[in-house]
Structure 1
C-alpha cells in the first residue's frame, strides 16, 4: 500500500503506524492529514473501535477502512460508523487508486458488491454464527472472549478465578454449541462476525 501511494502521489508524505496508539500519536503531532487508511485488523483495535475513535477525535479527516475481510456486514457497519470508504486489499492497484481519489475528492467509496462477497449464502452463514454465539451463557461468552484474545485455559482460570476443570467444561460447551472441533475453529468463527464480549 505504501509503495502504491508513493508512486502515485509522489508529493505526499506517508506516515505509518504499527499500532492504533502509534497512529493516534502521529495524527496528534501532524499539522494536517488528508486521509487515514485504517486496517480493520490493526493491533489494539477491536473491530470498528479505532474508526469510531478517529471519527470522534479527528472529525474532519476522512478514514478509509482497508481490509482483507470480504464481509458486506463489516462494510455496512463501517459506513454507518462514519468511514469514508471501504477498500478490500484484493482490489487491483488502479482500483485502489481510483477509490482513494474518490475519497480525496469528497465522495464515499464502496467496492461493487460482488467484490466483497455479498452473496446471500455468506450473509446467512454469518447470521447462523451469530445465533450460535447468542446461545452461549454469559460465562461462556466471557470464556470465548478470552479464547479470541489468545489466552490458555490456565490463564483463563486465573483471570476468572475458577478451576481448570470449570474452564475446560466451558470450552467443551462452547465447541459443542458452535459445532466446531477445536479452539482455533471457534476463534475463527468468532472473528468472522466480529465477536466482542
Structure 2
C-alpha cells in the first residue's frame, strides 16, 4: 500500500458525470482519495454521505474529495442520485488505481478470506505527496477525522493510535462534559470563565 511520504500515483478514471479525472485536474488542491468496496451497501453509503455532508468544509480547507470503487459509471450515477451525494465518484473496473495504491487484496469478511477492495483513504497534498494514509478504515467518524487532518495541514501529525479513530468527535464531547461539571463545582465562577 502507498504510505505517507510516498509520491501519489496518478490515475485517469471516468467520473459519475462522465468526465475523465486525474490528480492533474486539481492543481494547488489537497485531494482526499478514498477507496470503498461497493455502491449502495450500508458502510459505503454512510461513508459517501459523511464525505458529501462535509464537502463545503473540505472546500474551505482547499481540498476536494474523490471516491473510487470498481462499480460502473452508470451504477455510480444511480448511487449518487438515490442518496443525493455530492462527492465525485470514480469508476475503476480494471483495478488500475486500486493496484497503484495497493488497496485491492485479501481481506476477511464474515470470518472468510476473500479478495476485494480494502477500504482506504489517502490525503494527498498539493505537492502530490501522500500526507496521510488510512487502511482498513472504520466508517463511523472517518470523514470528520480526515477533515481535521486536512484542516491541520494535510495530516502531518503522527498517525492516530488504535482506538483513537475520531478525534473530532471526542474533542466535541469534551467541552460538554467539562461544562456540565463546572456548575456543580462553582456555579458562580463558570460563566465568568467562559466569557
Q: TM-score, normalised by structure 2?
A: 0.26
Higher strand share: 2
Q: TM-score, normalised by structure 1?
A: 0.26
**RCO comparison, higher one (Cα < 8 Å, 6+):** 2
